[in-house]
Structure 1
Amino acid sequence: MAGLAAAGLLAGCASVGPTDNPVARKLTWVSYLNGDDLRAACTKGETDRYRLVFNADYQKHVRTYDIVGDRGTGGAMVEARVLEATDLARIDLDDPAAVARGPVAKAQLSPRQFALFVLRLYESGAFEPAPSGVRLPSNGVYWLINGCRRGSWFFNAYPYPSDRFSDIRFDGPLKELDGGVQGTGVPFPALPRPQDAPRTLPTGGQRDSAGVVFEVQVGRNGLVGPTAPFGNWLFAGK
């Protein structure tokens, strides 16, 4: 219950998409995970949009990918972000907030690259029903994905360790993209041994040594519970 209450604090307002504002990001994080902004705009005729979030302990390493299709070219634009634990040695005195934003990279996918990415999502079961009832602790490792494809909303989760996580195929194109010239340049972290991976929140309440801990629960069509109880976040500018 403490973890769910902490999640509520992070779900204060509705997401308007990726943002460089660290305060807005925290206040809209669960709404962002749930893809509330993408779901609200998902109607027939709208551009295909995909969101993938890799959580390897929320306080240590998170990667986000927002992908927007281009109906004119058949390709897509990718906006990738890496959020890591604040490292004082990396602070830029000319832009102290940059360390909280994390590296951001944008890249254009060709029609072939975009088609391959969508195929890998399909092969990973992304468009099938989500594993309802699964709980994802913020200190754990998982992928959460959602989006709008051909006017239909989809949502799915891949906790580690699990067969679902082991069988994903969509991470290959993302890792290839991230490691390229236009990528973030930040490698994926090494996974803990399956027996060492957190499956529940740490004991002791809503905080551990790194900060707030929380938990989200997966339903068939998104996260369970209110994800933005206080409405839109009006100051979530990029």
Structure 2
Amino acid sequence: MRKKIMSVVSNIRTKSSILSSGALCAAGLMALSACSFTGTSDIENPLVRKGSWFSFINADDIRTACSAGDAEGRIRIVYNADYYKETRSYDLIPRNGAEQFEMVSRIFGPLDVSEVNVEVTAPLGAFGGTESRENLSRGQYLALTDALQADGFGYQSRDGLRLHSDDYYWVAIGCSSQSITLAAWASTKDDLRALTFPNVLENLSGLEKTLPQPPAFGAPKQPDPFFSKNDKKAESRHFYRTVRGNQLK
């Protein structure tokens, strides 16, 4: 793991409609992993996102390109701030021979589900999206990767860690030398407020809304005031992913 993330930085330092397919997956309320996210998928479309979220958060599109040698230096970071309240994603894409980078930042938040044909209580239901795009210098990119490494990216051993949709967690996935590195930080295991890379990320991003504050480490989880603890649909609403090696399953 250490060699992989170090090679990401080393290589960078030394190098001077989806609507229709998404609707089919979502409208049918099939398995959440039924649709694969690709580079041309519109993740801001709530129907596409509903059907391909597991693929997106696992960076399946980056994995495919990485194995082909076409994603050197690509990074995707996802912040789950209690999924049904707010989720964010950040994609870093090398440009011009890794001398510049594009960062695509997105916020996914609740949307009036009457606008689309899905249930509010269904997992990965309808959410709108806010997007911002920035051009980063190599120095800015390296500042972020340095912060990620300081927080454990490339050094972790998190096999078996469960990431629950109603908790707070970060996931970072990067490609280097045709290999994938995955790191995860969860409020159930980590002090998310002590992480350094979120501040770097927020300063680089053009999103105006501030990052949702994670709960204090060790604080008891508060019940969601919107849903009753006896809600019989809770199991269908909430979901989780499990870290298995460098995959989320």
- The yes-or-no answer on 1:56 pairing with 2:81 is yes
Q: Match of 2:139, SS?
A: helix
Q: CA deviation at 1:121?
A: 1.6
* CA–CA separation in structure 2 for the residues paired with 1:156 and 1:176: 21
Q: CA deviation at 1:149?
A: 2.3
* CA–CA separation in structure 2 for the residues paired with 1:130 and 1:143: 15
Paired residue for 1:23?
A: 47
- The yes-or-no answer on 1:188 pairing with 2:215 is no
- The yes-or-no answer on 1:14 pairing with 2:45 is no
Q: Is the 8 A contact 2:109 2:128 kept in 1?
A: no
Q: Is the 8 A contact 2:185 2:192 kept in 1?
A: yes
The one of 104, 113, 134 aligned to 1:79 = 104
Paired residue for 2:247?
A: 222
Q: CA deviation at 1:20?
A: 2.0
The one of 171, 179, 192 aligned to 1:152 = 179
Structure 2 alignment gaps of length 5 or more? 1-29, 116-125, 223-228
Paired residue for 1:174?
A: 201
Q: Is the 8 A contact 1:130 1:218 kept in 2?
A: no
Q: Is the 8 A contact 2:104 2:131 kept in 1?
A: yes
CA separation of 1:205 and 1:28: change in aligned 2, threshold 3 A: farther
Structure 1 alignment gaps of length 5 or more? 1-7, 92-98, 225-238
RMSD (CA atoms): 2.9
Structure-2-length-normalised TM-score:
0.71
Higher RCO (CA-CA < 8 Å; seq separation 6+): 1
- Superimposed CA distance per residue, residues 51-70 of structure 1 (whole angstroms, 9 cap, x where no aligned partner): 00000111111010011012
Of the structure 1 ranges 187-196 and 154-163, higher mean CA displacement relative to structure 2 is found in 187-196
- Superimposed CA distance per residue, residues 41-88 of structure 1 (whole angstroms, 9 cap, x where no aligned partner): 114464321000000111111010011012435121000000112369
Q: Is the 8 A contact 1:61 1:85 kept in 2?
A: yes
Structure-1-length-normalised TM-score:
0.74
* CA–CA separation in structure 2 for the residues paired with 1:205 and 1:128: 40
* CA–CA separation in structure 1 for the residues paired with 2:62 and 2:97: 20
AA aligned opposite 1:220:
G
CA separation of 1:169 and 1:149: change in aligned 2, threshold 3 A: farther
Q: How many residues align?
A: 201
Paired residue for 2:59?
A: 35
Q: CA deviation at 1:197?
A: 3.5
Of the structure 1 ranges 21-30 and 45-54, higher mean CA displacement relative to structure 2 is found in 45-54
Q: Is the 8 A contact 2:106 2:130 kept in 1?
A: yes
Q: Is the 8 A contact 1:141 1:160 kept in 2?
A: yes
- Superimposed CA distance per residue, residues 92-118 of structure 1 (whole angstroms, 9 cap, x where no aligned partner): xxxxxxx94321000011111011111
Bigger helix fraction: 2
* CA–CA separation in structure 2 for the residues paired with 1:101 and 1:163: 29
Q: Match of 1:9, SS?
A: coil
Q: Is the 8 A contact 1:47 1:70 kept in 2?
A: no
CA separation of 1:138 and 1:100: change in aligned 2, threshold 3 A: closer
Q: CA deviation at 1:213?
A: 1.0
CA separation of 1:77 and 1:184: change in aligned 2, threshold 3 A: same
Paired residue for 2:166?
A: 139
CA separation of 1:69 and 1:197: change in aligned 2, threshold 3 A: farther
